[in-house]
Amino acid sequence: MELADFQFFVEVLVGGLLSGVMYSLVAIGFVLIYKTSGVLNFAQGALLLFAALTFVSLVEKGLPFWAAFALTFAALTLIGIGVERAVLRPLVNQPPITLFMATLGLSYIIEGAAQLIWGTQVHALDLGIDDTPIDVAGVFISTFDLVAAGVAAAMVASLLAFFRFTRIGLAFQAVADDQFAAVAVGLRLHRVWVVVWTAAGLVALVAGLLWGARLGVQFSLSLVVLKALPVLVLGGFDSIAGAIVGGLIIGAVEKLGEVYLGPLLGGGIESWIAYAVALALLLVKPSGLFGRPSTERA
Amino acid sequence: MSTSTIAAPRAATEGARAADASAPALEVAGVSLAFGGVTALTGVDLKVAEGEIFSVIGPNGAGKSSLINVVSGLYRPNAGCVLIGRKSFAAVPAAALASLGVARTFQNLALFNGLDVAGNVAMGLAHQDRTGLFGQIVGSPGARAEEARSLVTEILAFIELTAIADRAPGTLPYGVRKRVELARALVSRPKLLLLDEPMAGMNAAEKADMVRFVRAARDRWGATVVLIEHDIGVVMEISDRIAVLDHGRKIADGAPAEVRDDKGVIDAYLGVAHDDDEIPLELAGAA
Amino acid sequence: MADVAFRLAAPSRRLTSGAVAGALVLASAYLLPPLVGSTYLFEAILLPFLALSLAGLGLNLLTGYAGQLSLGSAAFMAVGAYAAFNFDLRVPGLPFVGSLILGGLSAAAVGLAFGLPSLRLRGFYLAVSTLAAQFFVQWALNKFDWFSNGSASGVVRAPDIVLAGHVIDGPVERYLFALTVVVAATLFAVRLANSQTGRNFIAVRDNETAARIVGVPVLRTKLVAFAVSSFIIGVAGALWSFAYLRTIEPAGFNLDRSFQILFIVIIGGLASIRGAFFGAALIVVLPLALSRLGQAAFGGAFDSGVLELSQRVLLGALIIAFLIAEPKGLVALADRARARALRPFLKPPYGG
């Protein structure tokens, strides 16, 4: 392989890994909720759309960045409380499939409501990050991707710290390990759920801003969820580490596949290549990369 | 404990008679099983003669259910083998279990809640169905279906479930559901019947019924029975022979009277050997 | 005991009354709409209702009976529609019914392939893997214009349905054709649900371990569920394209369609043959009713974008409401309503 080819390969790979971090960020929102309630929260994408749309609309109304951020976060907290009251509480002890379908319904509500409130036009979102490529040893790397990866890493670190060092975070761990035992020792499940949904909302907000800045804030933003699902299959629904590594793999595979395999197949393969890779890996190694060996994938 | 009277003489003589039969119905040879680093079974040997009612007892976590799961093919042992009839398996094929003439019940109920009681019992004959999909859709039920129906009807009557044949299992009390599971296991006339705590959660009257059914499984239908049960009174009453497991090892094996007086067994239950075990009240009372 | 023998040996009273009710529904379905229906009734309500009912029926066999959650139904509809189109186009002399069946069989083959992960994956992992079918099939149909006979957009006009030299023409004839296909498929599904295979579906769904232990061929049962379900969904896709829309387009078989079919099954009632019809009726009529309502209440102020979004919100809320209040769906509601209405006329039920 010639040097230029190799540099190009590295460029594609690094670009893939960096966009993979953004997949990880979306996937982590799923993991948080899955760990505590065993639910695949399909509404995560809708939350992301809602967050980005609310934020960008507030900014366009003249609010400063931080005020818009805080207000959006407050709205997401309200959604978290609402979801716990109106959906999770009445469906407690229902099979996971039922809860999944409820989140599917929820995603319709949140997507519809977000666009009813803020309209359906496309908003440009400028976070003030330059997207000039920087040259690292002949390999061009997008500044925006770097910053996004940095933000995502900071987000993950603060989440881990939250769950390691705060009381409610430890409660979260307990609930994730054993829901029945947690209830038995008097942990208030309802409050943990509200906190977890709010945390997932925060993750959706950050991911929504990053993705919104890249793709524009519009309905299709909620489809980012579809990119996160193969990440979850790969990394395990219950593993934050799996979400990170899975995201990196999917990001890299998608970009490399698009560049090297796409032309052979006529292009457009990024809609399914991630799924194909995730499934292929699962067939070889049914327990996934990180998830606990569970009956789900036995 | 209404059932704690020990019918030792009868059990002992029958056990002796059964033990004379040449080929064992079930043999477990040197079976070891570990999950990750946790050892569940270590070198367990068992021989169950045809026509015996054979109980496996032991403190919680002794490996009783693991043993049943190895014999029924749900777990693959790390070492050793299982002989069913004259066939030897390093790992019993669970999917072929029913065709080998083995049926089992589960510690936690494993009924099909979407089928009624009769439907659940009929599922015990699922392995006999050889009609292709097309035949099932366009064909009319043949002679085999008629035979299956009469088997189901007979077993429902025998386990006294006829009146509730069309009820959903989810609407029935726990003890009755246990009986439905027994009926599902019995309907195929198994040569070997594995019962994992069939009387757990039952009151005295329900247990007495269950004892009757388990005896009949052997006496009327010729099944060899392997039984896990916590109620020592019931075990002593019903069993021809008893094996005792503790920490995954077999520590005793013999007729009820022998096992009851075995020093090691008493130690295991009373916690002399290791004081972290729970002492079942039944044995503490019986011993 | 005699009673049980009777119950097991002969169809029960409830079954016979069901057959009478079914015959009545059938007779009115064949006779009433052609007598009183307008073109609007056929084109906007009955034809999409029939195609979606059939798709719901197919998915219900897989998800409701066999317990395998699928999010890829629209992909199998697409395969059925495009395969029927290609058989019709490329095999001279093949009667349309042959193309329809071959379309269904093609969908079954694709369904079988995407059902293979079910042998190792369960629950959400399987659901996500069925999404792969959704994206892959849509991609292939857009990418390779052979499927649409060279149309760059993938959109083609559906050829006429021809039965024994007679061109099925006009909404009434298309309705009667679709109805006949749906009736045949429903009879097939009823037979299947009551066969040993149908009971094996339920057993695998309710307790896979116990099913394996009693000798249910678990892997084969899952694959049969995928194949049969995809077959019916494929035929539904062909009806959707040939009898209802009269064009075949990949965009109509997107992820939203897959969700719509899943919603039909949930709202109608999981593991119920009638459920698919109830659910499809609601899903088809609801948006129409809502738009009428919006027109009446707000006039022109209620634009179509807002209407569509409100429908989305309402549909989502409806799903959640059903899951909470009536997880067994419209079928259970209907049964309870009928029981209440009939109670004064019936003796208390025999036995327990």
The minimum CA-CA distance between C66 and chain B, rounded to whole Å, is 11
Residue A11, both tokens: 């460029």
Q: CB of B75 within 8 A of CB of B246?
A: no
> Would you call A271 and C135 a contact, using CB atoms and an 8 Å cutoff?
yes
Using 50, 70 and 90 to split pLDDT, how confident is the model at C347? low
- Confidence at C122, pLDDT banded by 50, 70, 90: confident
Using CA coordinates, name the residue in chain C closest to B112. C206
Q: Residue A24, CB half-sphere, CA atoms under 13 Å: how many?
A: 30
Of A91, A283, A286, the CB nearest to C323: A91
Contact A95, C121 (CB under 8 A): no
Residues of chain C with Cβ-Cβ distance to A263 below 8 Å are none
> Residue holding tokens 């379908």?
A101
Chain-chain contact of C317 with A276 (C-beta, under 8 angstroms): no
Within the 167-206 window of chain C, which residues sit less than 8 Å (CB to CB) from chain B?
Answer: 188, 191-192, 195-197, 199-200, 202-203, 205-206
Closest CB to B114 among C197, C205, C215? C205
Note down the domain range covering B57.
Answer: 1-91+232-287
User: Which residues constitute the domain of residue A245?
Assistant: 3-122+137-297
Q: CB contact, 8 Å: C4 with chain B?
A: yes
Which of B8, B18, B58 is closest to B257 using CA atoms? Answer: B8
C-alpha C154/C-alpha C138 separation (Å) is 10
Output the pLDDT for position C1: 38
Domain membership of residue A235 (yes or no) is: yes
Give the pLDDT of residue B18: 44
Count residue pairs from B and C with Cβ separation < 8 A.
Answer: 110
B224-228 and B192-196: which strand pairing?
A: parallel
> pLDDT tens digits for A205-255?
999 998 888 888 888 888 888 888 899 888 888 888 888 899 999 999 988
DSSP state of B172: S
Percent of chain A at pLDDT > 70 equals 90
Q: Which residues of B touch C210 (CB under 8 A)?
A: 106, 110-112
Strands B38-49 and B87-89: unpaired
Check residue A288 and give its pLDDT. 64
Please give the residue that has the higher pLDDT: either C107 or B135. C107
In this structure, the strands spanning A139-142 and B249-254 are unpaired
**Does residue B164 sit within a domain?**
no
The answer to whether position A129 is within a domain reads: no
pLDDT band at B64 (very low <50, low <70, confident <90, very high): very high
Does residue B273 surpass a pLDDT of 60? no
State how far the Cα of B111 lies from the Cα of B123, in Å rounded to an integer: 10
Q: What is the dihedral of CA A94, A96, A97, A101, to 10 degrees?
A: 80
Cα–Cα distance for residue pair B176/C149, rounded to 1 Å: 62
Chain C residues with a Cβ under 8 Å from any Cβ in chain A: 69, 117, 120-125, 127-129, 131-132, 135-136, 138-139, 142-144, 255, 259, 262, 266, 305-306, 309-313, 315-320, 323-324, 327
Q: Say if residue B23's pLDDT is above 80.
A: no
pLDDT band of B12, cuts 50, 70, 90: very low
**Partner residue opposite C316 with nearest CB, options A109, A232, A271:** A109
Q: Which residues of B fall within a CB distance of 8 Å from C218?
A: 95
CATH code: domain of residue B80: 3.40.50.300
Question: Which of 174-213 (B) contact C at CB < 8 A?
Answer: 184, 188
Token output for B215: 């005896």
User: Residue B254 falls within a domain, yes or no?
Assistant: yes
Q: Give the residue with greater pLDDT, C229 vs A276.
A: C229
Residues B42-53: tens digit of each pLDDT: 999 999 999 999
**What pLDDT score does B10 carry?**
41
**Can you tell me the mean pLDDT for B33-39?**
85
pLDDT at B51: 93
Kindly indicate the confidence band of residue A86, based on its pLDDT and cuts at 50, 70 and 90: very high
Cβ separation of C136 and A275 shorter than 8 Å? yes
CB contact under 8 A, A112 and C124: no
Contact call for residues B149 and C6 (beta carbons, < 8 A): no
Instruction: Give C146's contacts in chain A (Cβ within 8 Å).
Output: none
Specify which of A50-59, A87-96, C27-36 reaches the highest per-range mean pLDDT: A50-59
Judged by CB atoms closer than 8 Å, whether chains meet at A111 and C127 is answered as: no
The CA distance from B246 to the nearest CA of chain C, in Å, is: 27
For residues A120 and A219, is the Cβ–Cβ distance under 8 A? yes
Is A262 in contact with A268 (CB distance < 8 Å)? Answer: yes
Mean pLDDT check: name the lowest of A17-21, A145-149, B268-272, C132-136.
B268-272
Q: Residue A181: its pLDDT value, please?
A: 64
Which of A91, A115, A296 minimises the CB distance to C123? Answer: A296
pLDDT at residue C203 in the model? 96
- Whether residue C6 is predicted with pLDDT greater than 50 in this model: the reply is no
Q: Which residues pair with C140 in a beta bridge?
A: none
Residues of chain C with C-beta less than 8 angstroms from the C-beta of A222: none
A99 CA to centre of own chain? 19
Task: Tell me if A285 is assigned to some domain.
Answer: yes
Alpha-helical regions (H) of chain A: 3-37, 44-60, 65-83, 96-118, 143-165, 167-177, 179-184, 189-215, 224-235, 240-256, 262-265, 273-284
Q: Which residues of B touch C228 (CB under 8 A)?
A: 133
Query: Phi/psi of residue B86, each to 5°?
Result: -105, 5
Q: How far apart are CA A234 and CA A227, in angstroms?
A: 12
| C297 contacts chain B (CB < 8 A) | no
Cβ burial of B90 (10 Å; 0-12, 13-18, 19+) is exposed
CB contact under 8 A, C128 and A283: no
CB A28 within 8 A of CB A156: yes
Residues in chain B with CB shorter than 8 Å from the CB of C188 are 137
In a domain, B121, yes or no: no
Does residue B72 belong to the interface with chain C, where contact is any CB pair within 8 Å? Answer: yes
> Which of B122-136, C124-138, C290-304, C307-321 bottoms out in mean pLDDT, i.e. has the lowest?
C290-304
Tens-digit pLDDT profile for residues B85-99: 888 999 999 999 999
Residue pair B244/B251 in contact (Cβ under 8 Å)? The answer is: yes
Residue B273 lies in a domain: yes
Tell me if A247 sits within 8 A of A231, measured CB to CB: yes
CATH of the domain at A84: 1.10.3470
Does residue A63 belong to any structural domain of this protein?
Answer: yes
The one-letter code for the residue type at C203 is: A
The number of domains in chain A is 1
Q: Do the bridges between strand B38-49 and strand B24-35 make them parallel or antiparallel, or are there none, so unpaired?
A: antiparallel
**Closest residue on chain A to C68 (Cα):** A97
pLDDT tops 80 at residue A130: no
For C70-104, write each residue's pLDDT tens digit.
999 999 999 999 999 999 999 988 999 999 999 99
Residue type, C109: A
CB-closest option in B112, B118, B146 to C4: B118
Interchain contact C69–B (C-beta under 8 A):
no
Measured between CA atoms, the residue of chain B closest to residue C185 is: B137
CB contact under 8 A, B136 and C5: no
Are B99 and C1 within 8 A, CB to CB? no
Q: Is B126 in Cβ contact with C196 (below 8 Å)?
A: yes
Pick among A233, A238, A264, A295 to test the C interface (most C CBs inside 10 A) = A233
Q: What is the pLDDT of residue C298?
A: 73
Any domain includes B62:
yes
Say yes or no for a CB contact (<8 Å) between C216 and B127.
Answer: yes
Q: How far B188 CA lies from chain C's nearest CA (Å)?
A: 9
What are the beta bridge partners of residue B242? B55, B254
Residue C168: predicted pLDDT: 87
Q: How far apart are CA C69 and CA A81, in angstroms?
A: 28
Kindly state whether C296 is in contact with chain B, defined as any CB-CB distance less than 8 angstroms.
Answer: no
**Contact residues, chain C, for B188 at CB < 8 Å:** 214
The answer to whether position A132 is within a domain reads: no
- Local confidence band at B22 (pLDDT 50, 70, 90 cut-offs): low
Q: What is the pLDDT of residues A241-288, one digit of tens each?
A: 888 899 999 999 988 888 888 788 777 787 888 898 888 887 777 666
The answer to whether residues A55 and A172 touch, using CB atoms and an 8 Å cutoff, is no
| Chains touching B by CB (3 or more pairs below 8 Å) | C
Quickly name the fold that domain C34-345 has.
ABC transporter involved in vitamin B12 uptake, BtuC (1.10.3470)
DSSP C346: S
Residue type, B281: L
Mean pLDDT across B231-237 = 90
Separation in Å, CA of C215 to nearest CA in chain A: 19
Model confidence pLDDT, tens digit, residues C303-329: 778 888 888 899 999 989 989 998 889
CA distance C292 to chain B (A): 40
- Name the average pLDDT for chain C: 88
pLDDT of residue C15: 58
Averaged pLDDT, A72-89: 93
Residues 172-201 of A with CB under 8 A from C: none
Question: Is the ipTM here above 0.90?
Answer: no
Query: Cβ C202–B112 below 8 Å, yes or no?
Result: yes
| Residue A128, domain member (yes or no) | no
Low-confidence winner among A90-99, B273-282, C194-203 (lowest mean pLDDT): B273-282
Angle CA C340–C344–C345, to nearest 5: 110
Number of residues that make up chain C? 352
pLDDT (0 to 100) of residue C311: 87
From C97's Cα to the closest Cα of chain B, the distance in A is 19
Please judge whether C217 and B123 are an interchain contact, meaning their C-beta atoms are less than 8 angstroms apart: no
Distance from CA of C60 to the nearest CA of B (A): 14
Annotated domain spans of chain C: 34-345
Q: What subunits make at least 3 CB pairs under 8 angstroms with C?
A: A, B
- Report pLDDT for B160: 92
Whether residue A110 contacts residue A79, with contact meaning beta carbons closer than 8 Å, is answered with: yes
* Residues in A touching C128 (Cβ below 8 Å): 229-230, 232-233, 275, 278
Residues of C numbered 247-276 whose beta carbons fall under 8 angstroms of chain B's beta carbons: which are they?
271
Dist CA C31 CA C35 (whole Å)? 7
